[in-house]
Amino acid sequence: MGWYNRAMETSANTKVPDPGAGGSPPSAPRWLNEEERATWFAFASVLLRLPGALDAQLQHQAGISHFDYIVMSTLSESPGRTLRMGSLAVMAESGLPRLSQVVGRLEKRGWVTRTADPTDGRSTLASLTDEGWEKVVETAPGHVEEVRRLVFDPLTKAQLKRLNELSRRIMITVDPEDRCLR
């Protein structure tokens, strides 16, 4: 938290330009109070460490990354187990270059195929193969158990309900069009 305190001190010691000298003065930063800082650091720790914990479990149990699992499970829940690469990138929170690399790796393992979209030659479809489906089915129980252990088990029913409400409220602010919330 030292960097935060230094930033606050630096900001407090910065001279605000004279408004009569032309231009408007910059608004002062809205620094976090102690309670907000403690909440932010706890929340940021979850955001940073939870993906790594899920990734470690999937690597150990299934030999795949969390992102691999997201791609394959997203395809598994899509009509015909197929999506356009652009749509898959949006749903997996990825850029197309990263997604293309991952799908290429999954293709080599026989879990995903890519084909031209017959309705739009500019698009590529990613499809989960039967072997990919089997990998998702085999991997899902361990992944769900780890999610349960890390996120759900430590909380009461009331806390889970509140976590859902708070997460949705934050996501609406971050991305009002987020399809995951619908």
DSSP states of 22-43: SSPPPPPP----HHHHHHHHHH
What's 15's DSSP letter?
A: P
CATH 1.10.10.10 fits 52-154, yes or no: yes
Using only C-alpha atoms, what is the Rg of the chain?
A: 22
pLDDT attached to residue 1: 47
Domain ranges of the chain: 52-154
* Predicted local confidence at residue 24, as pLDDT: 58
- pLDDT tens profile 111-128: 999 999 999 888 999 999
- The per-residue pLDDT for range 77-97, each reduced to its tens digit, is 999 999 999 999 999 999 999
Ranges of residues in the chain with a pLDDT under 70 are: 1-25, 179-182
Q: What is the DSSP letter of 16?
A: P
**DSSP 8-state code for residue 70:** H
- Which pair of tokens denotes residue 60? 């150990």
Structure-token match 């395809």, residue found: 75
148 CB burial (10 A radius; 0-12, 13-18, 19+): exposed
